[in-house]
Amino acid sequence: MSAEASSPNRVTFGKVLKNRPFLLLWLAQLISNFGDWLAILALFSLIAFRYHGSPSQVAGIMIAFVIPMAFLGPVAGVFVDRWNTKRTMISSDLIRAVILGLLILATALTQMYLLIFALSAVSAFFMPAQTVAIRKLVRKEELLVANSINSQTIQFNRVISPAIAGWLVSMFGEKACFWIDLSSFLASAILVSAIVLAPDQKERSDKAASAVPAEFLEGLKFVWGHRAILFLVVSMMAAIFAIGAFDSLIVVYLRDVLSASSRLFGEVISATGIGIIAGSIIIGRFGQKHAKVYMISFGIFALGLSVLCTALSGSAGVALASALALGVSAAYVLVPGQTLMQEETPHEILGRVSSTSMSLVTVCQLMSFLVAGSIASMIGIRNLYYIVAAVLVAIGAGGYWYAMTNRLADAVHTGVAPESVPAQSVPGESLLAEPAVQFHPVLPETGDAEWPPASLDV
């Protein structure tokens, strides 16, 4: 891997967490994400066991949650870029607390689906606002470690929440988890209110609604015109489409191919989460000197090898080892990808770019879920996994070649706009089209007065 410029002093996890505003934001995420896991697991339990819901009724939870993320995200990003970042996060937390209160009172499935839809819709505003906030709170050279910490937090909650949710439901019922999630949103709002953010520009909340389409297209044009970001988004879309086919059928694969019980399924999910935590730690500790575009390609390639090992495995031990490797590989995609987007996107359109990317990836994941079952029925799950592995390996290798050929790492490393780096001519390669938007980096290499801006947003 090519090396990127490193800071004179290596950034550590402790150094980033000593940043009090970031620490407050991290604690808010830790608490609210833990509450979210408890609530969603309790909701599955409520519909599946108390209401004796059918498979389609249980699946309706995820459908209600995914649709707003997929289709509202790009529009939400426009308003996130207009609005005050801090107030957007606080308002989102308070609104979600109210929705959880209504969910506690809900008695019909239709009501629950509508409330989950609303909860996801509000989260579509909070998530890009949080991405913008992280960019404002830490220095450029600290972004990789900051995102590594966030990734570890999410996966830590993912590992511990199922057991805690199961105990709470058995002792106090599902609504106890809803009350905890409600409280977690209130705690998050209080923590975020104590953060001082530095804005990049004057708020634009007074702009007309008619300007929304134009602002959305501005973010889309930036993605299309910035080769490193386009490389990231296209790679993520293809990889998520492939890995979605793997995820959606893993429980069936373990049951039918390995003749395993639900216990192994839980262990595989936990192993994947532990792998992502381990990968995030490795990246935060050793990844600062490596080019992020190469780490992303390596991660996708390694995902393919992990899926291949799963398909070839005939034992629970190999399946667990493959799941652990899958998690480490996923961290090499998620953490550098988030960091690359924050580093290379100007503040004023970061909300749009991050939410649009999230929406495109979510749509690909949803499409994968819809077609994976039919394909597996025709060719078998193991053969489908072989195809998924081959696709991921091809994407990783092809992405590495594309990044090398077009010198993406050099463009990111030097701060030169990627479009100014000569591209090799490849017939039929649409990704090499001339960019529509000129990019002027706003990120200093060292911590100076421009990062974060001196003026304070309270």
Query: 389 in a domain, yes or no?
Result: yes
Interior CA angle at 354 toward 453 and 112, to 5°?
120
pLDDT at 441 over 50: no
**pLDDT tens digits, 328-368:** 998 898 888 888 888 888 878 888 888 888 888 888 888 88
Please tell me whether residues 45 and 100 are part of one structural domain. Answer: yes
Range 386-407 average pLDDT: 89
Task: Return the pLDDT at 8.
Answer: 52
Query: 239 in a domain, yes or no?
Result: yes
Task: Return the pLDDT at 271.
Answer: 86
Task: Return the pLDDT at 429.
Answer: 33
More confident site: 132 or 189: 189
More confident site: 198 or 73: 73
pLDDT at 315 over 50: yes
Please tell me whether residues 366 and 396 are part of one structural domain. Answer: yes
Query: 441 in a domain, yes or no?
Result: no
Q: How high is the mean pLDDT of the chain?
A: 80
Give the domain extent around 79: 11-197
Please tell me whether residues 220 and 173 are part of one structural domain. Answer: no
Range 151-159 average pLDDT: 86
Range 38-44 average pLDDT: 88
**pLDDT tens digits, 405-415:** 888 776 554 44
Query: 454 in a domain, yes or no?
Result: no
Query: What is the tally of structural domains in the chain?
Result: 2
Please tell me whether residues 65 and 156 are part of one structural domain. Answer: yes
Please tell me whether residues 148 and 226 are part of one structural domain. Answer: no
Query: 119 in a domain, yes or no?
Result: yes
Task: Return the pLDDT at 419.
Answer: 41
Distance CA 116, CA 109 (A): 11
CATH code of the domain in which 252 resides: 1.20.1250.20
Query: 448 in a domain, yes or no?
Result: no
Query: 48 in a domain, yes or no?
Result: yes
**DSSP per residue, 18-86:** TSHHHHHHHHHHHHHHHHHHHHHHHHHHIIIIIS---HHHHHHHHHHHHHHHHHTHHHHHHHHHHS-HH
Among 126-140, 144-158, 346-360, 382-396, whose mean pLDDT is lowest? Answer: 346-360
Distance CA 89, CA 101 (A): 19
Please tell me whether residues 240 and 118 are part of one structural domain. Answer: no
Res. 260 pLDDT band, cuts 50 70 90: confident
Please tell me whether residues 115 and 229 are part of one structural domain. Answer: no
Please tell me whether residues 238 and 301 are part of one structural domain. Answer: yes
Show the tokens assigned to 36.
Answer: 């979210």
Query: 458 in a domain, yes or no?
Result: no
pLDDT at 3 over 50: no
**pLDDT tens digits, 205-234:** 555 555 667 777 777 788 888 888 888 888
pLDDT at 450 over 60: no
pLDDT at 423 over 50: no
More confident site: 456 or 344: 344
Among 208-222, 237-251, 254-268, 397-411, whose mean pLDDT is lowest? Answer: 208-222
DSSP code of 72?
Answer: T
Please tell me whether residues 246 and 363 are part of one structural domain. Answer: yes
Distance CA 163, CA 154 (A): 16
Distance CA 418, CA 136 (A): 23
Task: Return the pLDDT at 50.
Answer: 82
Please tell me whether residues 113 and 231 are part of one structural domain. Answer: no
Please tell me whether residues 192 and 224 are part of one structural domain. Answer: no
**pLDDT tens digits, 51-65:** 877 767 877 887 888
pTM, two decimals, is: 0.72
Please tell me whether residues 134 and 277 are part of one structural domain. Answer: no
Task: Return the pLDDT at 410.
Answer: 65
